[in-house]
Structure 1
Amino acid sequence: MREQRKVTDSYWLHTAPGPDHPALDADLEVDVAVVGAGIAGLSTAHALARAGRRVAVLEAGRAAAGVTGYTTAKLTAQHTLVYDRLRRTRGPDGARLYARSQSEAIEHAAELVAELDIDCEWETRDAYTYVGDPSRVAEVRAEADAARQAGLPASFTTETGLPFPVAGAVRVTGQAQFHPVKYLRALTADLLRLGGRVYEHTRVTGLTEGEPCRLTTAAGPVVTARHVVIATHYPVFDRALLFARLSPRRELVVAGPLGDGPDPDGMYITPDENTRSVRTAPYGPDGQRLLVVTGEHFTPGTGDPRAGFDRLAAWAETHFPGVTLDHAWATQDNESTDTVPLVGPFHPAARHTYVATGFGGWGLSNGIMAGLLLTALITGRDCLWRELYDPRRLKSVVREAPSLLKTQAEVARHFVGDRLKPPGSVADLAPGDGTLVRSGGERLAVHRDEEGALHAVSARCTHLGCLVSFNRAERAWECPCHGSRFAVDGSVLQGPAVKPLERRELD
């Protein structure tokens, strides 16, 4: 990738490092324990604290530094081509509830920004879903009609601020964009002011449901809580079998100062070209804009992201010639098999455990929506869209069946097929690269560092046993089945796995 500067973190994390929070070092008792300190977890914790509940947030890494810290930071109710699909699968009422829930999430965030005087570069922008292929214009027209019927200020247009023509686009006015990490830093500060607690570097490894519930952590302390919320993006517990209804995908991001080129003045996304998402953000004190381009999605553990970064950078530089791409990162999302997030009781028998997952690439509005919904459920208030997002929904089973079967067939293909692939060779391993080898009767994941030393760990993902694969662009081991990610030393970077890859010695 041609770039003048590259940082290991996203632009959002790079520009809002934030304070450290302590690790949990003693047993704790609270009303609600929230596992995960991303947009969903912190929004839930903050809303519950405002409702008078004693809340603790438990984060395996750093607050706001997971998936939320790597987003493109669009806060919109316009989610590509979702409303025409919802109108067909959930009926007009389902589409209206979806639009209302997303819009109320945006309004809630706007109210907090004003009330708490949060300096998070909040801007109102129109959102567009566009296509360049004339054969897809009918899809876009149907989406505009469905979104308008659902209650959004939506219309069909062929005019945009992009520096190239489009065949058609859905335009939804009055949406928002912001600096997500600055927003969450302020939300966390207010959570602490309200008496909530945030613990970083505290990995939760076990859950016992009951009255009360108990959470165990890798370091030993136990958390006792009347209610538990699992907001880890991909649930770290499998008792609900939600892993069968979720598909992980990874997406690349390039960003940098726009230069003298025109600002497209909007938030744009297209399903064409393996996805392209475009927006700008404030950059520096002199009125410059930061161009953020996302796309080239792939299943974790498959392909070579380096080629995707090259394609994405080339696309950005072609359409925005003055841009200087000095940031590059990747993000990860999970999509449910029926495309609607899973937010509510963890499983059919759950009484005090809740989950928020399956945001399908729209984690900001869905994360805030999840916080409002879960707070209503825990405090005993009604919520109009409770049934729409309920993970226990049964009417969607038939609708989900084809996608569910396809998802599980892909998992089975990796589980079996990856074991049949010929092993790699340590002798051929370049510095910085990794491969799977056979040693002592098992598959090992071997990485050669820049000094030439070899580091070996078990290649079996500690979640459900699929074989990991090496991501050369980010230098991480990734599971193609459910999206767990590990550092080269085997430590967990991203769940659902909660245990590291076991270290091994090479023969």
Structure 2
Amino acid sequence: MKTQSFWEATTPQRPEFPPLEGNLDVDVAIIGGGITGITTALQLTDAGKSVAVLEARRVGGGTTGWSTGNLYVPTGAYYHKILDSRDKETMSSVAYARAAALDFIEHQTLQKQIDCHFARRPWYFFTEEENMVSTIEKEVDALQRAGMPIEFTENVPYLNQDGIRIAARMHGQARFHPLRYVLGLATDIAARGCQIYEHTTVFDLKEEKDHCLLKTQHGTVTCRQIVIATHIPIGIHTVQTVAAPHRSYVVAVRLRNDDYPDAYFWQNDTMHKAITTHSTDSMKLDMLMVAGNHHKTGQASHQEYQHYFNELEDYARKHFDVASVEYRWSAQHYRSGDGVPYIGLTHKDAKRTYIATGFYADGLIYGTVAGMLLSDMIVGKDNNWLKAFDATRGTNLATAKTFVKENVNVAAQYLKDTPFSADVKHLSEIAPGEGKTMEIDGEKVAVYRNPNNQLHACSAVCTHMKCIVHWNNAENTWDCPCHGSRFMIDGSVIEGPAIANLEQKQIDVSGEHLIEGEKHRSGQRDINNPIT
């Protein structure tokens, strides 16, 4: 089954924004047109700043449009762990920032009349495993200490109560259609002077003493501040040593009885699952979703990618009367060292460049928090959240442990490919629909054979830091197991810190040799141009 986001599939019309052609001078340039970038642009436009948003693909077309659409104060990083790694002040700041972001989204939806089906609903947290009871108890205590209205409950609606060991409930959480929301904001700010450019890749940026410079394919942007809202900073950045890339999976199903729970559920068991629904008055968009199964990007076997989806589908069928599976998709997220995102100046010596990363699968809320906080920083407005999210904060014990763990993991990925261990030796070993790495004329090559038996080939060496990419057979992409860069079958960058595309290769099939020719390192994707 082809992967497709429910949100992408149910956004029939979307505004078109042109690519940047020529040079530009603005107050603030924002790299990335997801919820972080567009929220920041909204706030700065409201503050009277001239703003340009530069999006490499489509506005909202990255993680925002491939999320779950859930808005909640609780966080997957857990408040009791934030309390352990930081302090009560930080924990409380995170909780109040998330609550404020939820209110902000509701306000924008009502004020701008965005048709994104925003609705409040309760959140339930429960477990069927005895050894997970203490986690829920500690999390309820932490949220209460942070001033949040959470309570224990003996009833979790729609689910079988027999196996539930303990449960908690928090009212006033929400769900919405994230892509329609972000496109609604983008349409609003574009009409008020914010310049938005799609299909515009930034391949170089530099902070000078009194200004910043960004280079794109067809123009240069001069600005006073840069916001890197690309989920993880592009290029090479120290935060990549502690912000680990992960994939998460979602299946969306229709129910036979049309009885969709108006609530959000977290099942805190060995394999954490999240259950949610999207519904409207017309019932045309009613859908139940099950999310979960996190793993490091690029670090699953070919068989496991499909297994992650199948396991979520099995879970849905076990607990609900499923009529059909309509959509499957996955999304990327980055986890910070101490459970709190990095939002603010990119490093201690920076004066004009800002980042927002480490959202831990909570990007819709944290992206909104980032937009609110970064815009305040840029216009010089005090914000009580700055200390909690400070991207230049020093290393603590939790961050140090994560630094060691993640860099050992990255080192292990390099060692696996030293010497290079190809998946196959000959093209004949690659079946239609498969992608494999192999060595041709001494070069490491990533080769995909499409269902029509045409070959697509590119370098297997990630352009970020030279790790070897792995094939993701669920999404037909090449994923880097080191820092999470992902590429289309033609080598075009999808996401991650990589800036340059994988170099395209041409293969002489008869002799299995590379054909010398034009090298392709940049430009727009063209997945309909097979390399034969």
Match of 2:78 in 1: 82
Match of 1:212 in 2: 211
2:130 corresponds to 1:134: yes
2:345–2:353 contact (8 Å) kept in structure 1: yes
Amino acid at match of 1:482: H
| Partner-residue secondary structure (3-state), 2:115 | coil
1:84–1:143 contact (8 Å) kept in structure 2: yes
Match of 2:518 in 1: none
For the residues of structure 1 that align with 2:285 and 2:184, how far apart are their CA atoms?
Answer: 24
Match of 2:198 in 1: 200
1:261–1:322 contact (8 Å) kept in structure 2: no
For the residues of structure 1 that align with 2:225 and 2:392, how far apart are their CA atoms?
Answer: 18
Shift of 1:8: 4.8
Residue 31 of structure 2, aligned match among 1, 25, 35:
35
Match of 2:383 in 1: 383
Match of 1:423 in 2: 422
Shift of 1:398: 3.1
2:19 corresponds to 1:23: yes
For the residues of structure 1 that align with 2:118 and 2:189, how far apart are their CA atoms?
Answer: 20
Shift of 1:107: 1.0
2:283 corresponds to 1:282: no
Shift of 1:265: 2.5
1:70–1:329 contact (8 Å) kept in structure 2: yes
| Partner-residue secondary structure (3-state), 1:214 | strand
| Partner-residue secondary structure (3-state), 2:500 | coil
Shift of 1:82: 1.4
Please list the CA deviations of residues 436-492 of structure 1 after superposition, one character each: whole Å capped at 9, or x if unmatched.
111122221111111212222111100111000000111110001111111111111
The 3 A distance-change label for structure 1 pair 495 and 153 is same
Amino acid at match of 2:504: R
2:456 corresponds to 1:468: no
2:487 corresponds to 1:489: no
1:80–1:269 contact (8 Å) kept in structure 2: no
2:22–2:219 contact (8 Å) kept in structure 1: yes
1:259–1:289 contact (8 Å) kept in structure 2: no
Unmatched segments (≥5 aa) in structure 1: 1-5
With normalisation by structure 1, the TM-score equals: 0.95
Match of 2:4 in 1: 9
Correspondences of 1:315-464 after superposition (within 5 Å) = 315-394=315-394, 396-420=395-419, 422-425=421-424, 426-464=427-465
The 3 A distance-change label for structure 1 pair 474 and 286 is closer
Match of 2:231 in 1: 233
The answer to which of 276-285 and 415-424 deviates more is 415-424
| Partner-residue secondary structure (3-state), 1:57 | strand
The answer to which of 462-471 and 16-25 deviates more is 16-25
Unmatched segments (≥5 aa) in structure 2: 508-512, 514-532
2:259 corresponds to 1:257: no
Correspondences of 1:45-194 after superposition (within 5 Å) = 45-80=41-76, 82-165=78-161, 166-194=164-192
Deviating runs (4+, > 4 A) in structure 1?
Answer: none
| Partner-residue secondary structure (3-state), 2:286 | strand
With normalisation by structure 2, the TM-score equals: 0.91
Amino acid at match of 1:490: G
- The number of aligned residues is 499
The answer to which of 94-103 and 59-68 deviates more is 94-103
For the residues of structure 1 that align with 2:32 and 2:241, how far apart are their CA atoms?
Answer: 21
Match of 1:222 in 2: 220
The 3 A distance-change label for structure 1 pair 381 and 288 is closer
| Partner-residue secondary structure (3-state), 2:29 | strand
Shift of 1:79: 1.0
Amino acid at match of 1:73: G
User: What RMSD in Å do the two structures reach over aligned CA positions?
Assistant: 1.6
| Aligned residues with identical type, % of pairs | 35
The 3 A distance-change label for structure 1 pair 486 and 259 is same
Please list the CA deviations of residues 405-463 of structure 1 after superposition, one character each: whole Å capped at 9, or x if unmatched.
00000000001113446322222211010111111222211111112122221111001
Match of 1:3 in 2: none
Amino acid at match of 2:477: A
Please list the CA deviations of residues 242-279 of structure 1 after superposition, one character each: whole Å capped at 9, or x if unmatched.
11011000111110322306433311123424321110
For the residues of structure 1 that align with 2:256 and 2:195, how far apart are their CA atoms?
Answer: 42
The answer to which of 259-268 and 223-232 deviates more is 259-268
Amino acid at match of 1:10: S
Correspondences of 1:300-319 after superposition (within 5 Å) = 300-303=297-300, 304=302, 305-319=305-319
